[in-house]
Structure 1
C-alpha cells in the first residue's frame, strides 16, 4: 500500500502544481495589463509572443485539429487559451488515472481518463450551445435595432456598428467583430459569411439573408426587419417552452450517469477490492463492457431524441 499511497500523493501534488501554475498565469496576466500603459504596443506584443503558452498556442494552431478546437473555444465565449484547455485536460486525465487506478482497478483508471476528456468536451459543447442560444434570443432586438437604424437612412454597415454598441452579450461582441471586419476592407457578404460560420443558426440565416438581398437589390428593408423581429420573438418563446419540457429528460440522464459511477465506489467501499477482482476475470470484464455499452447507447439515444431544430 506504500506505493499506492505515494502514487495518490503524486497525483495530488500534480493537481496542486497545475493550480499554482493557473494562479501564476492569472497574476502574470494582471501584471501585464497593469504595465501595458508603460510599454509600447510592439514591445508588449513581443513580450506576449515570447511566453511558453504563446509558443505552445502557435504550435497548436498550425495543426488542423488545433485550429478547429480554437474556433470552438472562440464560439463558446470562454476566455481560455487553447494551450490552457489542453494542459488542464491532460492533467485532469492523469490525476483521474492515478486516483481511480488505485481506488478501484486499472481498467477503471483508463475509463476515468476517457471520462475526464468527455466532461471537458461536453462542457465546451454546452458552452457553445448556451452562447448560441443567448445570441438567438437577442435576434429580435437585433432586427429591431437594424430596422430603426435603416429607417433613419443609415447604411447597413453603419447600422451594424450601432447595433454592436447598443446590444450586450454575444450579439454585441459578434456584431463588433463583423463591423471591424468591414472596416478592414471585407465586403458585407464576406462579413456575413464569417458571422454565420461563428454562429450557425436558422433564425440568423433568415435575418442575414434578408440583409444580403436588401444590400444587393434594395427594397423595403424596414418593414421586412420589423416582420422578422415579430416572428423571431414568437420563435424564441416556442424554443423556450420546448427546452423547458426536454430539460427534465436530459437532467435525468446525467443524474443516472453520476449515480452509476457513484455506485462503483460504493460497492468497492462496502466490499474492498471487489472491482479489482471483477476486472481480473473475463466474465467480469465482459459484464462491465455490456453495462457500459448500454449506458452509452441510452445516452446517445436520449441526446438525439431531445435534440430539436426549429
Structure 2
C-alpha cells in the first residue's frame, strides 16, 4: 500500500514537473523572448516603394485619427433626450416623446392588472413599456440611421473629391451630394448647406455634423473641412484618404460579421433552448412545471434561472462582439 502511494506521488511529481518545464521554464528563462527577438531580426522586410510607403503612411494616420476620435467620443457624458430624438431621425419634441412613453406605461399597467397580474407585475411592465421600450426604439432607429449614413458616406466623399479635382468649389460639391445622395445623407448635407447659407462658416457647419450623426467618420470629415478652411492644404488628397479608410473599415466590419455568424447562431440556439423546452413541457404536462411559479421554492429557482441565463447571454454577447 505504501509502495503504491509512493508510486502515485512520484508520478504526480513528474507530471507537475513536466508541465512546469513546458509552460513555465521558457517564460522564466527568457528563452521565448530570445526566440522572438531572433525571429524579428531574421525576418526579411518586404520591399516597398517610396510612393506606396507614403500612401500607406497617410492612410495609417487617417485610421489612427479615427480611432482616437472614437475613443474620445466614448468618454463623453450622456447625450440629452432631445439630441437623441434628433439623432434617431424623428422630429418629435421632448414633451411629445414623454407623453407617448407615459401612455405606453399606463396601458401596460392597466392591461396587466386587468388580466390579474397584480400590482407589482403591473408596475414592472409599466416601467419596461414606458421607460425601456421607447428608449430601445430610439437606439434602434439611431443605429439604423447611422448604418445607412456610413453606407453612403464613402460615395459622397468620392463625389466631393471628383468635384474638387474638376475645379468646382467645395460648397458646390456639397450641393451635388445633397441633391443626389440617399437619406439620411441628403438631409445631413442639406443641413450643412442651410447652416452655411445663414452666415456660419463652412468649416464650422461641417464640424456640427457630428452633433446630429455621432460617428467618428462624420467627426473626422468635419475636422478635415474645418482645418482646410482655416489653414489650407490639399483637400482632395485628404478626403481621398478618408474615403479609402472608410471602405477598408466597411470591408473589415463585413468580414468580422461573416466570421462571427456561426458563433452568433450558436449563442441564439443555446439561449433559446431553455424557454422552448419550458414551453414544450408546459404544453405536455402543465402540472409538472407549474410548480415553478405556484410554489415559493419554484419561484426562487425560476428567478435564479433567469439571473444565470441573463449572465450567460451577456457573456456570450461580449465574446462574439468584436471591436476593430
State whether TM-score is above 0.5: yes
Structure number with greater Rg is 2
RMSD (Å) for aligned C-alpha atoms: 3.7
Find the aligned partners of 1:217 and 1:174 in 2 and give their Cα distance.
25
User: Which residue in the other structure is 1:86 paired with?
Assistant: 98
Match of 2:174?
Answer: 160
Is 1:99 the counterpart of 2:144? The answer is: no
Distance 1:217 1:254 in 2: 56
The question of whether the paired residues in 1 share the 8 Å contact of 2:293 and 2:299 is answered with: no
- The alpha-carbon deviation at position 260 of structure 1 amounts to 4.4
Distance 1:233 1:301, change over 3 A: same
3-state DSSP of counterpart to 1:153: coil
**What residue is the counterpart of 1:72 in the other structure?**
84
Conservation of the 8 A alpha-carbon contact between 2:188 and 2:209: yes
Secondary structure of the structure 2 residue equivalent to 1:165: helix
State how far apart, in whole Å, the 1-side matches of 2:142 and 2:270 are. 22
Using structure 1 for the length normalisation, give the TM-score. Answer: 0.63
Number of equivalent positions: 242
Unaligned stretches of 5+ in structure 2? 1-77
Counterpart residue number, 1:36 = none
1:169–1:215 distance in 2 versus 1, CA, 3 Å: same
* Structure 1, unpaired ranges of 5+: 1-64
What is the correspondence of 1:10-29 to structure 2 with a 5 Å cutoff?
none
| 1:13 counterpart residue number | none
Q: What residue is the counterpart of 1:203 in the other structure? A: 217
Aligned mates of 2:302, 2:178 — CA distance in 1: 53
> CA separation in 2, counterparts of 1:217 and 1:129?
34
Distance of 2:286 and 2:116 partners within structure 1: 13
Shift of 1:176: 0.9
Q: What is the aligned counterpart of 2:202 among 188, 191, 194?
A: 188
Is residue 192–residue 205 contact of structure 2 (8 Å, CA) maintained in 1? yes
**CA–CA distance in structure 2, aligned partners of residues 235 and 84 of structure 1:** 38
Q: Which residue of 1 aligns with 2:226?
A: 212
